[in-house]
Chain A
Amino acid sequence: MSGSSDVADLTRAGSDIPAGRNLAVRGVFFACALLTVLTTFGIVVVLFDGALGFFREETLFGLLSGVLGGVLAGSPAEAWAALRTGLGTQVTVREFLFGVEWSPIIRPRSYGVLPLLWGTMLIVVGSALIAIPVGTATAIYLSEYADRRVRKVVKPTLEVLAGVPTIVYGFFALSFITPIIQRFFPGTGTFNVAAGAIVVGVMIIPMVSSLSEDAMSAVPDELRNAAYGLGATKFEVSTDVVVPASLSGVMASYILAISRAIGETMAVTLAVGMQPNITLNPLEQAQTMTAYMVQIGISDVSVGSIGYQSLFAVGLLLFVMTLGMNLLSLWIKGRYQEAYR
C-alpha cells in the first residue's frame, strides 16, 4: 500500500489496482457483443438485398452500381436503363407466395413457393404429432414420476440425443426408418415424407421434453401438496395442477421445437427428397424449403441467375417464419407467465 499514513487512502491514484484494466475488459466484452450484433445485422441485410434481386431483377447494390456507373461514364441513358431494369418486376410477391408450381431453374419456369412451404409444413405437422405427445409425456415422467436417480441418467441422455449431428439423423432415416416403412408399404420410394417427419420428430423430442421439464419442475411444491392433500393421484396432480401451471413454458417449448423443425435441413434433405410436391400422401417424396436451398447451394447455377436469387427469397421466407415462431414463444412466455406466484 502507498505511504504509511494512518488515514485510509481510498482514491484511485493511491490504490494499486490497475486503473486501465477495468476499461480494457469492458472494451473486449463490448467488442464481442458488437460483433454478434453486426453479424446478425449483416446476414439480415444480405438476405433482404438478395431477395430484392429475386423480385426486382437487381439487388440494391447492383442497382446503385449500375446507375452510378452510367453517371460516371457521362451517359444518362445508360444510368436510366440501369434504373429501369433494376426497378422492373421480375417475380411478383403474389406469384411467389400463392403460386402452386415451383421451378425456378428448369423451363417453363414458375416461382410459386407453396410446394416448398407445403413440404416444410408436412414435416412440421408430422414431427409435431410425434414430438409433442412423446416429449410432453417424457417431461411429465421426469418431473413427476421418476425418482432422482432415474432423472439423473435420463435427462443428460436426452440432451445427448439433441447434440447428435442432424446429418446422422438423415442417414438414420434412410437406412433404418425408410426400410421399415417399405416393409409395411412396399411401393414406398427411397425418399418419402414419412421418414423425414419421423426422424425430425425424434430429433426435437429432447427440446420439448427438456424445456417442458424445466417449466414443470419450476411449479412450486406447495401446489402439488395442495392437490395431494385433497387425495389427488399422481396422474391428477400432473394433469390438473402441474401442466396447467407450467403451460406457458410447455407451449414455448412446442413452438421452439416447431421452429427447429421448420429450419431443419440435412435430415430432411436426405430423407424427404428433392421433388417439390403438394401432396397429402406421406409416402411420396417432396421437398422442403431448406432442402431446396441445399439443392441450389450445391448445384452449378451461376451467381446472379434467377435460380441463385431464388435462394434468398426462400431463405428470407424461412427467416421470417422462424423469427415469427420465436417471437410467438417469447410472447406466450411473457403473457402467461406467473400463473402461480
Chain B
Amino acid sequence: MSDSYTVGDERENEQDGAAADRADGRNVSTPDPVDETTGETTPSIQHIADADTVIEAADLTVHYGDVEALKPVNVRLPAQEVTAIIGPSGCGKSTFLRCINRMNDMVDAARVGGELRFRGKNVYDEDVDPVALRRKIGMVFQKPNPFPKSIYDNVAYGLEIQGYDGDMDARVEEALRGAALWDEVKDQLDESGLDLSGGQQQRLCIARAIAPDPEVILMDEPASALDPVATAKVEDLIDELAEEYTVVIVTHNMQQAARISDKTAVFLTGGQLVEFGETNRIFENPENQRVEDYITGKFG
C-alpha cells in the first residue's frame, strides 16, 4: 500500500458533501467512504501505521469570520521526519500550522472545526490546556523574533516558565549547540539577542524552541528572511533536528522542500490539501495535475 494519496479536484466543489459528512459525525478513521458524487474513494489516512503518527488532522477546517481558509484536511504526519508544507501564497499553510499548537486561539476571527490530534488526543477538546500543548510543540516563526533579553535568557525562557530547576547552563549550551550557534555566541551569552545577525537570530529562535525539548517543532518559513548562506545553515540544522524531533515546516521554496523534507503536503488555492506523500515522489511524479502544474511552475 502506498503511503500517499491524492485528492481529486472534484473535492473543490463538494463542500456541501463534506459538511454533510461532518454532520453525520463521520469519523475519519472509519474505512474509506465512497464519495457520493464521483464514486471515487475519498482519501484515507490509514496508510501510515498508528505508532508513527504524531499529528493527525481529521476533517480539520478553519474559517476566518465567514471566509473558509482550510477545506476539510485529512492527513497524518509521521514522527521523526521532516514534513514540508508547500503551496501558493494564501492557501492556508500558516493557518494549518497554527492549528497544530493552537496559535489560532490568538486570532479572534478564527474558528476551527473537525479534529487535530496530537498523539491521538484532539487538541481542540474542552479539557486541553493550550499552554500545556505548546510546551510539547515548539514553534519557529518567519521573522526572527528573539526577546529583547540576553542570548542566555532567550534560550532559558521556555525552561524557566516550566519551572525547570536542573542545570540550566547545561541545557542552554545543549540547545545552542543543537541550533549550531554555540561556537559563535559562547563568549557573549550576556549580550542582547537583538545584537546578532538575522541568521544568528533565527538560529537563536530555534535554540529557544528546542531548549525545553519538545516533541514537535513547527516552522513557518523559517528561512525566508535570511540570505543564502544563513538559509543553508538553517537547512542543515533542520536535517539534524529530524533525528530527534518531528519537524513540520512551511516553505515557499520548492527546492528547499525537496532538499530537506521526507514528506510533502501540497496545499493549493482555496485552502485545500491536494496531495500528500513522499517528497521524492511528489516532486518527480505527482498524481494530481494541479500539483504538477504548481511544482513545475505553471502556476502559483
Contacts and interface: CB of A to CB of B under 8 A. Distances in A.
Contacts of B108: 147-148
B161 interface: yes
Interface stretch (B64-72, B181-189, B205-213): B205-213
Interface stretch (B114-122, B141-149, B236-244): B141-149
Contacts of A233: 131, 161
Interface string A242-258: 00110000000000000
A231 B103 contact: no
Contacts of B141: 222, 225-226, 229
B101 interface: yes
A230 B106 contact: no
A340 interface: yes
Interface in B196-238: 205, 208-209, 212
Contacts of A339: 148
Contacts of B8: none
Contact of A223 (B139, B147, B162): B147
A105 interface: no
A193 B205 CA distance: 52
Of the listed residues B108, B138, B147, the one surrounded by the most CB atoms of chain A closer than 10 A to its CB is B147
B132 interface: yes
Interface in A189-231: 220-231
Interface string B130-171: 011111001101010111110000000110011000000000
B194 interface: yes
Q: Is the interface of A mostly helix, strand, loop or mixed?
A: helix
Given A148-B108, A240-B157, A231 B145 contact: no
B145 to A, nearest CB: 4
B12 to A, nearest CB: 31
A148 B158 CA distance: 29
B67 to A, nearest CB: 18
B194 A226 contact: no
Contact of A231 (B134, B143, B146): B134
Contacts of B212: 230-231
B131 A231 contact: yes
B208 A341 contact: no
B132 A231 contact: yes
B145 A225 contact: yes
Contacts of A229: 101, 103, 134, 138-139, 141, 209
A222 B131 contact: no
Contacts of B103: 225, 228-229
A102 to B, nearest CB: 47
A339 B143 CA distance: 17
Nearest to A147: B108
B162 A231 contact: yes
Contacts of B132: 231
A244 B192 CA distance: 14
A236 interface: yes
B157 A230 contact: yes
A222 B194 CA distance: 14
A229 B208 CA distance: 10
Interface in A56-101: none
A314 B208 CA distance: 56
B157 A228 contact: no
A243 B122 CA distance: 34
A318 B108 CA distance: 48
Contacts of A220: 145
A241 interface: yes
Interface in A22-42: none
Given A228-B106, A231-B132, A341-B194, A223 B145 contact: yes
A71 B143 CA distance: 78
Nearest to B212: A230
Contacts of A241: 147
A231 B138 CA distance: 8
A335 to B, nearest CB: 14
A230 B158 contact: yes
A227 B194 CA distance: 16
A123 B146 CA distance: 41
A125 interface: no
A232 interface: yes
B156 to A, nearest CB: 11
Nearest to A229: B139
Contacts of B138: 229-230
B205 A230 contact: no
B145 A230 contact: no
Given A229-B134, A230-B158, A231-B212, A245 B148 contact: yes
B145 A226 contact: yes
A339 B194 CA distance: 9
A236 B162 CA distance: 11
Given A222-B145, A226-B205, A231 B161 contact: yes
Contacts of A227: 147, 157
Given A222-B143, A225-B103, A341-B194, A230 B148 contact: no
A242 to B, nearest CB: 11
Contacts of B133: 231
Contacts of A221: 106
Of the listed residues A228, A231, A236, the one surrounded by the most CB atoms of chain B closer than 10 A to its CB is A231
Closest 5 CB pairs of A and B: A231-B135, A229-B139, A222-B145, A231-B134, A230-B158
5 contacts: A226-B205, A229-B103, A229-B134, A230-B138, A231-B133
